[in-house]
Amino acid sequence: MTGNCLRVGFFLDGYTLKKVNEYYRVHHRYHASLDLRGLKFWVQLQIQRYFNRANRVVALESHYYHPQRNPHIYARGVKGVFKFEFELMNAGYQVHYSDLPVDDGHMGPNLGLIKDAEMFAAYCDMDAVILLSTQGQYVPLVDRLKKMGVPVLLLGWSFSYPKNSRYVHWRTDTGLRLRCAHYVAMERILDHDPANDIPPTGFFFRPQVGTAPDVAVGGGGLTCVTDDGLAVGRFADDGLAGMKKAQGPNDLWAKCETPESIKACFPALSASRCGRSM
């Protein structure tokens, strides 16, 4: 059984995620923080859709690449970072910090993701890679993985918003998008109903008034919202029961009892127009 499992690597560019979350938290009508645990559940559904036609057992590696240097070593800018790291690990992500030797105040993609993803693909015999990023710096990675026979599903964003009397345009790099085997325009997935101001609860953290505490306490506590506004659920177990207990009985997650019924909790999942296969 183990030898026949589908091995998938999920690699998150923290720089992209920071910018995307700022957009939804500050500039978008949702004014809500992304829930990274909910995102991981959704990614598992995409694995079934794009890569697992034979219905094999899936072994998923999840890695978050922080744009900042390691606060354990440099002890600078650590406010909220340690808490975020702890919550990410509880949600099943491995955290990797930037290895830049000098902190010049400019933040960018953590390119350590490239060599790590190549190493995992080669030595862990990965069957597919899911990359969350908009940055063209990762084009060489996609090219190398393609030569190794490892297809890449890219999760990207394109959006615009006014800021300080000008418009900010954020786009997924065209070269990166075209080189990947599959592409999902996440802004369409997360905003599939433009007439609705309520964020979809599978992807965003939105506490239910009167059904859950405002801060994480003890086992099965609710959620950590970091200084960047990213939300990561912390639960007593990895199952949906923990999510139900944390989010409250009226939340959308409370209706999810099995992996199959998770699909009902993501109505945008059927919007195939948002994906592109090559």
Residue 110, number of CB atoms within 10 A of its CB: 25
Residue 255 vs residue 189, higher pLDDT? 189
Q: How far apart are CA 5 and CA 61, in angstroms?
A: 13
Q: Which range is least confidently modeled, 11-25, 95-109, 128-142, 248-262?
A: 248-262
Backbone angles phi, psi at 26, to 5 degrees: -110, -45
- Which band of pLDDT confidence, cut at 50, 70 and 90, is reported for residue 154? very high
For residue 104, the model assigns a pLDDT of 53
More confident residue, 86 or 241: 86
Q: Is 30 left (phi over 0), alpha (psi -120 to 50) or beta?
A: alpha
Q: Into how many domains does the chain fold? A: 1
Cα Rg, the chain, nearest whole Å:
18
| Nearest by Cα to 51 from 179, 153, 186 | 153
Q: Which residues of 162-174 are buried (b: 16+ CB within 10 A; e: fewer)?
A: eeeeeeeebebbe
For residue 157, what are the domain limits? Answer: 2-277
**Whole-angstrom Cα distance, residue 74 to residue 82?**
13
Res. 87 pLDDT band, cuts 50 70 90: confident
Asked whether 128 and 8 are in contact (CB, 8 A), the reply is yes
pTM attached to this predicted model: 0.71
**What's the CATH number where 150 sits?**
3.40.50.1010
Give residue-wise pLDDT tens across range 37-78. 999 999 999 999 999 988 999 999 999 998 765 555 555 555
With CA atoms as reference, report the closest residue to 181 among 156, 157, 147, 146. Answer: 146
